[in-house]
Amino acid sequence: MKLEEDIRLHIKNAFKLIFEVELDSAQLFLQPTRKEFEGTHTFVVFPFLKISQKSPEATAVAIGDFLKSRSGMIKDYNVVKGFLNLEIGTAVWISCLDDMLKNQHWGQLDSNGKKVMVEFSSPNTNKPLHLGHLRNNFLGDAISRIIEAAGYQVKRTNLVNDRGIHICKSMLAYQRWGKGETPETAQLKGDHLAGKYYVLFDKYYKEEITTLVRQGVSEEEAKKKAPILLEAQEMLQKWEQKDAEVMTLWNNMNAWVYAGFETTYQTMGIEFDAIYKESETYLLGKDIIEEGLKKQVFYEREDGSVWINLKEEGLDEKLVMRSDGTSVYITQDIGTCDFKYEDFPMDQSVYVVGNEQDYHFNVLFAIMKKMGRPYGEGLYHLSYGMVDLPSGKMKSREGTVVDADELMDEMFMTAAKHTLELGKIEGLTENESKNLFRMVGLGALKFFLLKVDPKKRMLFDPKESIEFQGHTGPFVQYTYARISAILRRASADGINEALSPIQKIHPREQILLAHLVRFEEVIVQAARDYSPALLAQYVYDLAKDYNGFYQELSIFNEPDDPLVNFRISLSGLTARVIHRSMNLLGIEVPNRM
């Protein structure tokens, strides 16, 4: 909405006419008024005292007077030190609400013609997803939706890590001890089956190391020379040579894992536009190394290895190809950049990857910029912090993880328990209640993970289960369900949403309106900062503001018809914004709960 913009324009005008200076309206910063003062918008005058040549109070009063008498928007103002608090006129609020109600695309900005690729999830096919992956997936999904809402065209991709030594570890352990079991015979999801053998491998590997150390081998040496590890490395070589037996095993096990992942993604409510597999991209990049040598971006050392010097970028010298001409991790990432661009010529490319890879992405992006790629400037690493347990970091191979499937199941069960205790499934069919448990349980989990600033690492304590009250997803969902009930009744009573002038707008209503007005601004900011947390915070505050309004003011018992209409409209708009905000976080909202 242009409400704030209008106010800024009038302030700009005030400076021009009172102090005879031309200011850029962008530097006239408005902030929400603290709730202990009258008004909704506050202008801080401190930065402009040099211009006004007056005290903070006198400056604020001068601008306040001007706005009150000349703008036609400001009903009244008050000054506290250098803070000018503005009260907006009733008619302005009504027309503002009217504009928002009429805007069918509220919460979806016009297309800007730009393309963004978002890569997230990127699981390994040797183990099931855990809580850390949930944060990655929910973040990737939410930021995709938010960027779309901000007017970009988005392609969601998932680059599956389906080959490599860690995959061979699971395969080898299965070959040794699996006795031909399958997900069916084992009654296990395919990804969990693979994970079981990954853990088995590690256990046996550690035993071998212990044995070797007892025989007098140094620990470092033992880690490299454990027979089972050597065998896994041998298997990887066979895989690269497309050995028939290994390929069959690989294909079988991966198929099980993919089936398992599919179920998990469905439960999470997450989809992709394209799935890339590392087995198809891991050989890419060598031609770009050649190109880079010619462009003198890279240089070759005497032993034939290829390097890049990034000291000017504050980084270091980095190897991009081994002396034997084989790839390292970054080689394939370099190749994959071009590969992705050919598939989808994006302006920006977002990698949702944990912050332990900060350095890697700094190097990768510096390389692609030096190579002069058109998308080079648009590369972004959405670096998020780990989810830690009270005991420390999660480790799949040691089995100290919170499993994604198990956690989601637990959330659904807890949601069911709460719902039953509160007696809220009356009148719902079995399917409806099941769907409600799913929505609420998943909503609690997603909100829990998304409300925290992505950059920060966060703590999850399995002993203290995720809340359903307070600063939570179900709180917001509940507010939506509550408004839905009101709207159902309004509709049954035949109340239309036509707005007509009313006498006066209650402070609770003003706070709510001022909050609603900011919606699209928050979307833009969340997209710009790649932070779903901003939107989560916004929608939580909105729900809180609505509940305050709901508690203090009555809707249907109001004798004055225009006021009833106004409050219904306000409620309806709040519901729409909650629905849309939660949708952008990948969270569904129920009509009743």
Partner RNA sequence: GCGCUCAUAGCUCAACUGGAUAGAGCACCGCCCUUCUAAGGCGGGGGUUCGGGGUUCGACUCCCUGUGGGCGUACCA
- Sheet of 83-88: strands edge to edge? 30-32, 41-44, 83-88, 74-80
Query: In degrees rounded to 5, what are phi and psi of residue 24?
Result: -80, 125
Give the nearest distance from C-beta 249 to RNA in angstroms.
19
CB closer to RNA out of 346 and 543: 543
Give the nearest distance from C-beta 48 to RNA in angstroms.
9
Buried b (16+ CB within 10 A) or exposed e, 418-437: bbeeeebbeeeeeeebeebb
| Of 13, 175, 267, 591, the one binding RNA by CB under 7 A | 591
Binding of residue 101 to RNA (CB under 7 A): no
Give the nearest distance from C-beta 96 to RNA in angstroms.
18
Binding of residue 29 to RNA (CB under 7 A): yes
Binding of residue 471 to RNA (CB under 7 A): yes
Binding of residue 323 to RNA (CB under 7 A): yes
Subset of 252-291 contacting RNA (CB under 7 A): 278, 282
| CA-angle at 59, arms to 57 and 62, nearest 5° | 105
> Which residues have CB under 8 Å from 178's CB, separation 6+?
197
User: What number of other Cβ atoms are within 10 A of residue 294's Cβ?
Assistant: 8
Distance CA 558, CA 550 (A): 13
Give the nearest distance from C-beta 164 to RNA in angstroms.
5
Binding of residue 470 to RNA (CB under 7 A): yes
Q: Are 474 and 417 in contact (CB under 8 A)?
A: no
CB closer to RNA out of 132 and 183: 132
Binding of residue 230 to RNA (CB under 7 A): no
CB closer to RNA out of 534 and 585: 534
Distance CA 341, CA 338 (A): 5
Binding of residue 80 to RNA (CB under 7 A): yes
Subset of 405-464 contacting RNA (CB under 7 A): 415, 418-419, 422, 424, 436, 440, 451-453, 455-459, 461
Binding of residue 299 to RNA (CB under 7 A): no
Distance CA 137, CA 121 (A): 5
CB closer to RNA out of 48 and 188: 48
Subset of 502-531 contacting RNA (CB under 7 A): 529
| Angle (deg, nearest 10), helices 561-584 and 532-552 | 160
Give the nearest distance from C-beta 577 to RNA in angstroms.
17
Binding of residue 373 to RNA (CB under 7 A): no
Any bridge partners for residue 319, and if so which? 307
Binding of residue 574 to RNA (CB under 7 A): no
**E-assigned strands of 238-305?**
274-277, 299-300
Subset of 333-362 contacting RNA (CB under 7 A): 355-360
Give the nearest distance from C-beta 179 to RNA in angstroms.
29
Distance CA 529, CA 533 (A): 10
Give the nearest distance from C-beta 419 to RNA in angstroms.
4
Fill in the DSSP letter of residue 33: P
Distance CA 301, CA 292 (A): 14
Subset of 33-72 contacting RNA (CB under 7 A): 33-34, 36-37, 42, 44, 46-47
> Which residues have CB under 8 Å from 34's CB, separation 6+?
42
Subset of 534-553 contacting RNA (CB under 7 A): 534, 537, 544, 547-548, 550-553
Fill in the DSSP letter of residue 569: H
Question: How many residues in total does the chain contain?
Answer: 593
Binding of residue 398 to RNA (CB under 7 A): no
Any bridge partners for residue 337, and if so which? none
Binding of residue 533 to RNA (CB under 7 A): yes
CB closer to RNA out of 115 and 206: 206
CB closer to RNA out of 33 and 565: 33
CB closer to RNA out of 31 and 103: 31
What are the start-end ranges of the H helices in 354-429? 358-370, 404-421
Subset of 162-221 contacting RNA (CB under 7 A): 164-166
Subset of 109-168 contacting RNA (CB under 7 A): 161, 164-166
* Torsion angle of the four alpha carbons 70, 15, 86, 89, in this order, in degrees rounded to the nearest 10: 20
Binding of residue 394 to RNA (CB under 7 A): no
CB closer to RNA out of 177 and 359: 359
